[in-house]
Structure 1
Amino acid sequence: MKSLVLERQHELSLRDFPIEREEEHLGPRDLRIKLHTVGICGSDVHYYTHGRIGPFVVTAPMILGHEASGTVIEIGSEVATLKVGDRVCMEPGIPDPNSKATRLGMYNVDPAVRFWATPPIHGILRPTCVHPEAFTFKLPDNVGFAEAAMVEPLAVGVHAATKARIRPGDIAVVLGAGPIGLVTALSALAAGCARVYVADLATKKLEIAESLAPAIVGIDAGKQSIAERVKADTDGWGCDVVFEATGSPKAAARVFEPLAPGGCVVMIGGQPDPISYDAGAAMIREARVENIFRYAHVFPRCVAMLASGTIDVKPLITRTFSFADSVEAFDIAASAPAVDVKMQIELPQ
């Protein structure tokens, strides 16, 4: 089937690609899904530009894409909760059901998890895929395909907010106004934060952040000290939660500066190398530090919040491309235009 294939670093092609028979086999609890919308994630772009993310290295042609929505076109003999014609979104990581991590409820950190578009597992920028019923979620009528393809990045923000243990009225700081930073800000507000500061160097992204909710306050980190601004607004106390969503060692090294005593730091952004950690700054605050890896158990919550209007991700979708223009879409995404947050690709229907 025609797919968007990362042939090797810096080389993409849209071509017929042979999918292995076992990957397309429909098991009794599987669904065959016709893809509709697929988001371009920073990890997809990173594989394109760098050929690797940490230990995951592209050594053979690989189909990209893991943020997806579509329509069920075939069901296995034991599928009970979905039917042909249902509109769905899909959680892209499939763990080993017998692993210790899965049995403990931490299936996202299962070393054997098979995650779309993470070498050597193929992604879903292709017409159809087969996926387990257990990791496929029906969409309410008022949630469109584009919003549904945002559930995957939104799940990262909701998982981060859950790890932070936000209490009503908390003040949060999000470092980074990219897609993950912005869904984290929305998730923090949905969890009960009274105010969320979003810090970045890109003026346009800060404007987008502030347009999402009156309780979101942008901070231009190139012109203003994040810690000074937050402390000035909190009588010198600081914020309750800091979310690090840049993946920048420089930003990560200063995560404790705006944090109040007893506060929490949640590390979201992936760091390719070991980073500086100010143990003294953490200690004098008795700071709690949480780390997240993707997400677990939050897709149904995300779908429910989109349906109720608690979270609106539509303003984050800034550009949509046809499947035929996928290579161009990735070239544009790799240039990191300041005016764009989330780019998506629509497949032929």
Structure 2
Amino acid sequence: MTMQRALVLEKQHELALRDIDLPLEVAPGMVRISLHTVGVCGSDVHYYTHGRIGPFVVDAPMVLGHEAAGTVMEVGEGVTHLAVGDRVCMEPGIPDPNSQASRLGMYNIDPAVEFWATPPIHGVLTSEVVHPANYTFKLPDNVSFAEGAMVEPFAVGMQAATKAGIKPGDTAVVLGAGPIGTMVALAALAGGCARVIIADLAQPKLDIAAQYQGIIPVNIREKNIVSEVNALTEGWGADVVFECSGSPKAWETVIDLPRPGGCIVVVGLPVEPTVIDIASASTREIRIETVFRYAHQYARAIALIASGKVDLKPLITETFDFEESIKAFDRAVEARPSDVKLQIRMPQR
């Protein structure tokens, strides 16, 4: 164990910048990484404000942060694809490689997965971390640390687009223009959609999404989303619908949005049970897919960013110095409609 200064969630509503013992031993197959940029995720904020997410309860001090990029400082025995000095981003979930889920390629739903900043696992809002090399990805020279720290949320969008089975020229609908909804829209466009209709109640969020060619914003305070989709598709419906809001109320209209034989991908997690019109879905053979984090998406996400086909830089609203971490989290709690992604820059040697 090594004492490191970190942003620690002591308990619900209480954050502290203080020293804490964290493991830094570099075993075979591992790398030690100096953190450069860490994003503030909605789950981090939820632990701060609620102290728990479902069965995961903060009952001991925990370092926050899981969207991260940095520089390799040391490589363990057997690591050949990374070297000291490499700029990298890290996939924050570490599964059991021998679990049945991992053997089937679905390591993201391995019950034994250890995920940064998910109790009782510490996150990475600290100076250094040790991580498996197999879940550490080299950043191309034209991809910044800030973009590298955006790969984690973008991977969720990539997982959603993959599960949708998008075909070139498809029309998609995204419900919810928050950070994940916007990432899903960009992944859908990169995956072959000709256009993405994105719906939200907050106009500032829609304005940010509308910066991207191919995204059509719809303010559902002013317009009926079903009517808008029907008008844009000549009454046929969307090929794919991504539910990213997590609102149970969204399900009052979700089934009415896809075309016959279309697909609904559930990305947002409702906080309460929801009712689905199975009869309507069945008679039109609507396919329903679900998403939990991601698997095998990091390399593809990095390749898209490096190619210029996906530009995540406009989504970075503000960057805070590490010593302003508590201020950054309090800003995130405000949930300003004009904020997409807040990031924290770690001290550099």
Quick one: which amino acid aligns to residue 294 of structure 1?
R
Aligned to 1:33: 33
Q: Is the 1:4–1:125 Cα contact (8 Å) retained in structure 2?
A: yes
Matched, 1:17 2:20: yes
SS at match of 2:211: helix
Q: Is the 1:73–1:85 Cα contact (8 Å) retained in structure 2?
A: yes
State the 1:239 CA deviation: 0.4
State the 1:10 CA deviation: 0.8
Which residues in structure 2 correspond to 1:1-349 (within 5 Å)? 1-19=4-22, 23-213=23-213, 215-349=214-348
Q: Share of identical aligned residues, percent?
A: 61
1:193-246, Cα deviation, whole Å (9 max, x unpaired): 011001001101101111022x10000011111110010111111101100111
Q: Is the 1:212–1:315 Cα contact (8 Å) retained in structure 2?
A: no
Q: Is the 1:228–1:258 Cα contact (8 Å) retained in structure 2?
A: no
Q: 248-257 or 82-91, which moves further after superposition?
A: 248-257
Q: Is the 1:87–1:138 Cα contact (8 Å) retained in structure 2?
A: yes
Q: Distance in 2 between matches of 1:281 and 1:340?
A: 37
Q: Is the 1:253–1:275 Cα contact (8 Å) retained in structure 2?
A: no
TM-score by length of 1: 0.98
Q: Distance in 1 between matches of 2:159 and 2:32?
A: 28
State the 1:281 CA deviation: 2.3
State the 1:279 CA deviation: 1.2
State the 1:28 CA deviation: 1.1
Q: Distance in 1 between matches of 2:270 and 2:78?
A: 42
Q: Is the 2:226–2:253 Cα contact (8 Å) retained in structure 1?
A: no
Q: Is the 1:252–1:276 Cα contact (8 Å) retained in structure 2?
A: yes
For structure 2, the 5+ residue unaligned runs are none
Q: Is the 1:264–1:290 Cα contact (8 Å) retained in structure 2?
A: yes
Q: Distance in 2 between matches of 1:212 and 1:4?
A: 34
Q: Distance in 2 between matches of 1:6 and 1:128?
A: 18
Quick one: which amino acid aligns to residue 47 of structure 1?
Y
Q: Distance in 1 between matches of 2:43 and 2:215?
A: 26
Quick one: which amino acid aligns to residue 139 of structure 1?
L
Q: Is the 2:247–2:271 Cα contact (8 Å) retained in structure 1?
A: no
Quick one: which amino acid aligns to residue 284 of structure 1?
T
Q: Distance in 2 between matches of 1:275 and 1:117?
A: 28
Q: Distance in 1 between matches of 2:291 and 2:117?
A: 19
Q: Distance in 1 between matches of 2:60 and 2:142?
A: 40
For structure 1, the 5+ residue unaligned runs are none
